Amino acid sequence: MKSMTRAIVVHQMRTENCLAYLIADADTHEAALVDPRADRVADYLRELEQRGLRLRLVLDTHTHADHLSGAAELHARTGADVVLSAQATSEVATRRLSDGDRVALGGHDITLLASPGHTDDSMSLLVDGALLTGDALLIGGAGRTDFQNGSPEALYETLHRRFADLPGHLIVYPGHDYAGRTHSTLGQERETNPLLRLTERDRFVAALRAGHQAKPANMDTIVAANIHGVRPTSRITVDELAGALGGAGAPLVVDVRLPAEYRSVHLEPSVSLPLDEIAARRSELPRDREIALVCRTGARARVAAAGLSGFRTRVLEGGIAAWQDAGHPVVEGQAHMSLERQVRIAAGALACTGGVLAVAVSPWFGLLPAFVGAGLVYAGITDRCGMAMLLGKLPYNRRGPDGAGGTCAAPVGTATPGAPSVAAEGTCAAPLGSSRR
């Protein structure tokens, strides 16, 4: 989706539910990237080349907790300045801006608006009729406020005070969207967004506090990686790995996903070593052998590579998804019930239990199936299920692979706690009661 405002082009690039933006001055051919992901750096560079643009600025609207930032790698490859809020803790930033500061892009200015609430370092960007809000304001909602020094009080001030004087015709470009939407306007959000319509401060704060959720998967690891900077990582293509596995000196394939994910489908041969166990168990990995790191798409594998300095590592480009798309063989169905089936069983059991107790004990127990139903509606709309996240932490789902089905018997121990997907959808959006946006 593209928007033209005089000589400025805002081009939106979606990866799953994350939205990055290429801002370009059509006259000078200077460009900025906003909220780029580390796993899409090659795509951004290709887009810049095709458009004949020079990357001058990389701006992260906040320190991301749900995905790896491409800022450090883009700086290393292009020399572009990395711009963050003055409030951000970062080893990557080459420029820091405070509220009201401006940065030039060709003949235009990008103005920073401090937008704390989702995080304390959140900022929005105002450029020629467009408002890039990061996670401060989403379409029909806003960013959650219960981690990274977030504050519902601060978010209230951002949405109801700082944004109050901005014109309604501004096009709102959010940092995430979980329903396939691309943009809105500030005026439309004022009319329809529940959080903008919730003008009483105490009720606004209470609504956000009541919606606190489980901490996003691998959040601490991702935040730390983004603070230090995700540097360029050596990669191996699916065809290169397939060829290497058939020869002498084959790399050790280490799958860093949740053990339940591993049992569902994995490469053969490979071993399971969940991301959140790597720091504690790195001594179990060989230093005299190349290690090919694998996850669903490559994002978690890059985090793992950053924590394995001193080892010869390469990340499988595109992850197991690309491996399967290329038609290479996998091992499937390690006699494990999927999380989706577990959710159906658990939700049904809770609803039935609530119904029985409502009849036999007290009508108040009827709230239990209502709560479950609301949760399922929320999961259907957002494609993010809190119950699945909780079930993923149970011992049955945390248990490591049992060694059957061709799993390579590498010296990496046995049962290990698993880490849910880095790319879990919806982790940044704030629920309003039992619903979201």
CA distance 320 to 91: 31
pLDDT of residue 353: 87
CA distance 171 to 139: 11
Element (H, E) at 54: strand 54-59
CB 97 within 8 A of CB 83: yes
Amino acid sitting at position 278: I
- Interior CA angle at 29 toward 26 and 34, to 5°? 90
Burial (CB count <10 Å: 0-12, 13-18, 19+), residue 249: exposed
Burial (CB count <10 Å: 0-12, 13-18, 19+), residue 203: exposed
Burial (CB count <10 Å: 0-12, 13-18, 19+), residue 381: middle
| Encoded tokens for 27 | 């006259």
Of the candidates 74, 68, 54, which has an alpha carbon nearest to the alpha carbon of residue 16? 68
CA distance 422 to 428: 12
Strands (E), 363-427: none
CA distance 417 to 164: 46
CA distance 136 to 69: 18
CB 135 within 8 A of CB 63: no
CA distance 152 to 161: 13
Q: Tell me, letter by letter, the H, E, C secondary structure of 86-128.
A: CCCCCCCCCEEECCCCEEEECCEEEEEEECCCCCCCCEEEEEC
* Structure letter (DSSP) for residue 82: E
Beta bridge partners of 130: 127, 171
pLDDT of residue 333: 76
Beta bridge partners of 188: none
Beta bridge partners of 333: none
CA distance 320 to 298: 8
Per-residue pLDDT for the chain (437 aa), expressed as one digit of tens each? 544 445 788 999 998 889 999 999 999 999 999 999 988 898 999 999 999 999 999 999 999 998 889 999 999 999 999 999 999 999 999 999 999 999 999 999 999 999 999 999 999 999 999 999 999 999 999 999 988 889 999 999 999 999 999 999 999 999 999 888 999 999 999 999 999 999 999 999 998 888 666 776 678 888 988 999 987 889 999 999 999 998 888 999 999 998 888 999 999 899 999 988 888 899 999 999 999 999 988 888 988 998 898 899 999 998 999 999 999 999 997 545 556 677 778 888 888 887 888 788 888 877 777 777 766 655 554 444 566 656 655 655 544 433 332 211 112 222 222 222 233 335 677 765 433 33
Q: Is the overall model pTM greater than 0.85, yes or no?
A: no
CA distance 215 to 146: 8
Please name the residue ranges forming H helices in 119-248.
152-157, 186-192, 194-197, 201-210, 219-228, 238-245
- Interior CA angle at 305 toward 302 and 311, to 5°? 160
CA distance 206 to 227: 31
* Structure letter (DSSP) for residue 154: H
